[in-house]
Amino acid sequence: MDEIENLFVKHFTEDDKRKAMKYLKPRQRTESHSLTFFIGLFTGCFIALFAGYCIMAHIAGMYTRQSDSIYMETVYPVFSMFSLLFLHLFLYGFNIFMWRKTRINYSFIFEFAPTKELKYRDVFLICTTSMTVVVGVMFAHLTLTVKGYSSTEVQAIPGILLMIFLVVLVCPFNIVYRSSRYHFLRTIRNIILSPLYKVVMVDFFMADQLCSQVPTLRSLEYVTCYYITGSYKSQDYGFCMSTTHYRDLAYAVSFLPYYWRAMQCARRWFDEGEASHLVNLGKYVSAMLAAGAKVAYEKEKTIGWLFLLVVMSSTATVYQLYWDFVKDWGLLQPNSKNPWLRNELVLRRNFIYFLSMGLNFVLRLAWLQTVLHSNFGSLDYRVMSFFLAALEVIRRGHWNFYRLENEHLNNAGKFRAVKTVPLPFHEVDQD
C-alpha cells in the first residue's frame, strides 16, 4: 500500500502528498455523541406523546366500530400512512446495523457514496424525530376534536402536516440529508418510468419495498383527493370514495408497485438475456391477478369470486414463498454441505435460518388475512387492516437482511466484490 501511495503521489498529483490523500483516503463522516443523545430524546418524546394519544383516543372512543366516522375516514389514513412509512424506515436502519455487524458490504451492493450514505444512527434520528412531530400534531388535533372544534382550519391540520413533509423531501437547500433525499427521489423516478431506465440493485430493491407499502400508497391517494377537492371544508369524506374515477384510481394504485417491478424484470431480461428474470416477472403477474380477484370480490361478494380469490391468492403465495427461500435467500439447497441451506452462510447458527423461513411463511399468511376483513372485539376494521399492513412491513424488513446476505455471498463467490482503493474523484475539492 505504501508503494502504491508513493507511485500515485509521484505520477498523478505531481508529488503533492496532501492532494493524493484526498483521493486515496477520503475523509469519512465522524460519529457524534449528540446524534445518539437526540435519538434518545426524541424516542422518549414519541413514547410519551403516543401514550397520551392512546389514552385520549380510548377515552373519546376512537378506533372502535362506534367511533366518529369523520375522524376515522380523514385523520386516521394520515396517521397510519406515516406510521407504516417510518416503521419501514426504522427497520431499514436496523438492517444497516445488522449488515455492518455481520460485515455484509451493503454500501458496495447499493453503490452508495461512502461519505454521503445514511448510517443507522441517521436513520433512527429521522424516524424518531418525524414520528415525534407526527404524533404531537395528531395529539393536538385530537384534543381540539374532542373539545368540539370542527372548523376548516382544524380539519386542515393533517393535510398541512403531509404538505410539510413533502416540502422537506424536495427542499433544494443543503439541509436534512439533501444528498440522500435526492438519491431517493431519483430512485423513485427510475421506478415510475420503468422500463425506460437500466435497472440497478437499488432500483429493484426499492421497488420491492413499495410492494409492501400498497396501503400507504392508497392512503396517500385518498388523502390527496380529500384535500385537493376541498372536501375537508364540508367534511364530505364520502365524495372521493363515491366517485367512479377515484375508485378506478384507487384500484390502479394497488396494482402499480407490482407493475413497476414486473417492468423492471422485463428490462433486466432484455438487457441480460437471462430467463430467470421472466420467471420472476411471472411472480409479480400472479400478485396482480390475486389483487384483481380481490377487487372483483369486493365489488360482487359471490361464491364464484371468493373461490377464484382463494385460488389466485394461494397460487401467488406459494410462488412468492418459493422465490423468497430459493432465489432471494438462496436457501433450501438439497446438495449443500449445510442441510437444506446454502454452502456459505453469514450467521453461525443454522437454526436461525429455519426460524426465519417459518416466520416469513407465517407473515405471508397473515398478510392474506386482509381478504377476510377479520375483526377482533370492538376494534374498527381499519385498525385491523393497519396491523396486518404493519406485519407485511415487518416481513419485508426481515426479508431485506437475507436478500442482501445472499447478494453479498454471490458477489464474493463470483468475484464481483474486490478490495480496491476507492477513487471518488467527484467528491474531492479540486482547490
How many CB atoms within 10 Å of residue 97? Answer: 15
- Which grid coordinates are listed for 324? 423468497
Q: How much of the chain exceeds pLDDT 90, in percent? A: 41
Euclidean distance between CA atoms 174 and 189, whole angstroms: 21
Written as one letter, the residue type at 152 is: T
Residue 22 domain flag: no
Question: What are 306-317's pLDDT values in tens digits?
Answer: 888 888 888 888
Confidence band of 377 (pLDDT split at 50, 70, 90): low
Residue 19 lies in a domain: no
Neighbours of 62 (CB within 10 A): 22
Return the bridge partners of 64, or none: 379
Which alpha helices (DSSP H) does 32-156 contain, by range?
33-60, 69-74, 76-101, 106-110, 120-146, 152-155
Average pLDDT, whole number, for the chain? Answer: 85
Distance CA 130, CA 158 (A): 14
DSSP state of 427: G
pLDDT tens readout for residues 407-426: 988 876 554 554 444 454 45
Asked if residue 240 is part of any domain, the answer here is yes
In-domain check, residue 427: no
Residue 31 in this model has a pLDDT that exceeds 70: no
Number of domains in the chain: 1
Peptide bond into 257 cis (omega under 30): no
Q: Alpha helix locations (H) across 235-330? A: 238-242, 244-272, 276-299, 303-322
Q: Is residue 203 part of a domain?
A: yes
- Residue position matching grid coordinates 366517485: 243
- Alpha carbon distance 49, 244 (integer Å): 39
The answer to whether residue 11 sits within a structural domain is no
431: in domain? no
**Mean local confidence (pLDDT), 50-57:** 91
Structural domain including 306 reads 32-417
- Assess if residue 9 is contained within a domain: no
For CA atoms 285, 289, 292, 298, the dihedral sign is negative
pLDDT at 376 over 70: no
